[in-house]
Structure 1
Amino acid sequence: MSDDHCANLEFRPRLPRDKSVGIGCIGAGFIMSDCHLVAYRQAGFNPVAIAARRQEQADSVAHRHGILNVYTDYNELLANPAVQVVDVAVPPDLQLSVIQQIVTHADHIRGVLAQKPLGVDYQQAVEAVRLCREAGITLSVNQNMRYDQSVRACRSLLDSGKLGEPVLATIDMRAIPHWMPWQSRQGWVTLRIMSIHHLDTLRYWFGDPVRVYASVRPDPRTTFPHEDGICLYILEYANGLRAMGCDDVWAGPSKEGSAADIGIRWRVEGTSGMARGTIGWPSYPERTPSTLDYTTTQSPQWHMPRWDEVWFPDAFVGPMAQLLCALEDNQIPEISAEDNLKTMALVEACYRSAREHRAVELTEITG
């Protein structure tokens, strides 16, 4: 990390003391094979089993990452007593059924890291949380943008008070995701798949807003039915803070022949300082670290800490690490499923706001 003035920023996750806990992986798609398992091996974690419907895919990923136990039926994986933590990376419409089976093995399964979103809607997320709570299993959600290095460094700045009281925050995404085939059957796309990262990041930085106003339109490039292609939203906080996001998955006709202008930029303005940054993810698979610059009234030059780590795949250590640490210390995870219900509720409020053309308070969703 460069810029010695900023060397005390906390942007790396805390790792567990015991890395031998057996992890069972359900799913063998891109996010598991190219992100989770790459990061776990880098950190020295212990994936002991993997399950995927297609034998060839399961065998290939297991061979690549040195996993000995391979299944095509995830129930067989769940029955393996060596599996103490389950990493669930299946489409959201399949997640609840997997969790329903996991809780029947609470004799040896202690924790679950579930992919975001936690089900297809807020109600499914509530049910998943209830099932794990009643089974005594610690459930956490893989909101991995919280472990992007610039996002975490910004939180460190906010915690230190260097920026003063937050006044205005923005996240501006102009990027074209690669939608997965399973997304075509959901009937929705950006708010629950991309915006959920940014909405959760704003909650991670500032806590819960009172209400949100959202406006959406379809993305011209995405051919399957959906309402939430390009998404705009404003979060209103009780203390006066306003936060806004623009999630533009069209980003101009660059795939149709024009020049491209792709990137994600964020900015936080406070009463005594300002921070700005970029997110390197749109350049994947090229390793492009995210960035952070900041200035304060006490130190008015621009400070520009830099690091070598990237979100994809390095930051994926964080969500599993915080779950393992929680189990090790008998504490609530940093990304507890109970807390993630508020992120799911915020996403749900965005959908209601866009459909009804009005601001929606979170209490309308949570009751």
Structure 2
Amino acid sequence: MGFTQNWPRPEKARPIVIIGAGGIVVDSHMPAYRQGGYEVAGIWNRSRDRAEAVAETFGIPKVFDSIEEVAAQKDVIFDLASSHHVHADMLEKLPDGAPVLIQKPLGVDLAEASRILEICRRKSLTAAVNFQLRYAPMMLAVRDAMAKGFFGQLTEIEVHLNLVTPWHLFPTLERDPRVEIVSHSIHYIDLIQSLVGLPKGVVSRNYSYPGSKLTDTRTTAILEYDNDLRVTLSINHHHDFGRSHQDSSIRFEGDEGAAVVKLGVLLDYPHGEADELWMGKRGGPMEQVPLAGHWFPDAFEMIMNNMQRFVSGEDDVLMTNIESAWQTMAIVEACYASANRPLEPVPNLSKGAS
């Protein structure tokens, strides 16, 4: 099953300047850029000690003293990998017309996303958001298979997580009024939006967990589409009962073919397991498809490949452009709005049924 699993590298790349020096930079951005052969010209972080430590680890030649010094750099790609709480302020300081890859999410709600969209438009920034699950090799293969008609009429997309997420690694989330969808399941919503477009509407519920300091860490959601397409998310980050019944998968099914992907990095995060892709035609067995790479860090390289190629004119489409990212945030907002609406009450015989 020879479906495309990579995004080609640019013929000529611009240097990258990183804003932020958190765990995502160490675990994903820098390994991906090193793998892709990209030059990282410098890094800045509000904590200079942190920036210097990352620079020393990866051989980054320059630690900038201020965001103003960062913004003075010419002919570079800005990689805005800081907390979403400061994205709007950082974008305001970048030079007009600059290319910038923004770490997800696009704000914590649609109001923040709209503010960031306005800044990018006003400043004519070539902006994309780091929704890199779209670029994972297994997801590029699914996208290619869908484009080539492998599934026939798509009937099912089901996201199922039942695992343990070490939320203590993300202490800043404790102050956020919204957590699970906007910080995690947004990846799946963005992927679905990019494959099958905007849903007509959503039904969603969010749940907290006993003893957790986070607002919500469990989600049930339905995204409603036409043409008999059923799209569901069932997300539980607290199944701490051994590996045997943990799951981290997305199932795509049509009237002719099906695919199941395993998101290995989420199992025993951050160490993770190998990603997997299984595909098959109706009536036959599912077969494992060899993968050319994994979500982490390969997708981070692929999204930079697209960014670089778009800036250089080699690609016509910037797949996770700011407008597409805003649409993903609109679905997220609808999920939270749905969660606040009352459900249909069930008649109770003990109280008298009419």
TM-score (norm 2): 0.90
Which of 263, 288, 291 is the equivalent residue of 1:307? Answer: 291
Q: 1:250-300 CA distances to partner (integer Å, 9 max, x unpaired)?
A: 22xx2xxx4344331111110111111211112444463311111114x83
In 2, the alpha carbon distance for the partners of 1:352 and 1:287 equals 33
Q: Please, which runs of 5 or more residues in structure 1 have no aligned partner?
A: 1-5, 360-367
What pairs up with 1:54-69 in 2 under 5 angstroms? Answer: 54-69=47-62
The AA in structure 1 aligned to 2:155 is: V
In 1, the alpha carbon distance for the partners of 2:73 and 2:256 equals 54
Match of 2:73 in 1: 80
The AA in structure 1 aligned to 2:312 is: E
Q: CA RMSD in A?
A: 1.9
In 1, the alpha carbon distance for the partners of 2:307 and 2:273 equals 27
**Displacement of 1:158:** 0.9
Q: Does 1:110 align with 2:90?
A: no
Residues 149 and 290 of structure 1 are in contact (CA less than 8 Å); yes or no, is this contact kept in structure 2? Answer: no
Residues 4 and 140 of structure 2 are in contact (CA less than 8 Å); yes or no, is this contact kept in structure 1? Answer: yes
What pairs up with 1:159-198 in 2 under 5 angstroms? Answer: 159-179=147-167, 180-198=170-188
In 2, the alpha carbon distance for the partners of 1:87 and 1:221 equals 36
Q: Does 1:101 align with 2:93?
A: yes
The AA in structure 2 aligned to 1:75 is: E
The AA in structure 1 aligned to 2:278 is: D
**Displacement of 1:133:** 2.1
**CA 94–177 in structure 1, closer or farther in 2 if over 3 Å, else same:** farther
The AA in structure 1 aligned to 2:305 is: A
Match of 1:202 in 2: 192
State how many pairs are aligned. Answer: 339
**CA 285–192 in structure 1, closer or farther in 2 if over 3 Å, else same:** closer
**Displacement of 1:212:** 0.7
Match of 1:124 in 2: 112
Which of 202, 220, 229 is the equivalent residue of 1:232? Answer: 220
**Displacement of 1:74:** 2.3
In 1, the alpha carbon distance for the partners of 2:271 and 2:174 equals 27
Report the 3-state secondary structure (helix = DSSP H, G, I; strand = E; otherwise coil) of the residue aligned with 2:178. Answer: coil
Q: Does 1:212 align with 2:205?
A: no
In 1, the alpha carbon distance for the partners of 2:342 and 2:335 equals 10
Q: 1:210-245 CA distances to partner (integer Å, 9 max, x unpaired)?
A: 111001110224224x1x321010011122211001
In 2, the alpha carbon distance for the partners of 1:198 and 1:129 equals 21
**Displacement of 1:204:** 2.2
Residues 148 and 290 of structure 1 are in contact (CA less than 8 Å); yes or no, is this contact kept in structure 2? Answer: no
Q: 1:110-168 CA distances to partner (integer Å, 9 max, x unpaired)?
A: 30100111112112212212222222220000001112222221111111101101111
Report the 3-state secondary structure (helix = DSSP H, G, I; strand = E; otherwise coil) of the residue aligned with 2:40. Answer: strand
In 1, the alpha carbon distance for the partners of 2:164 and 2:83 equals 20
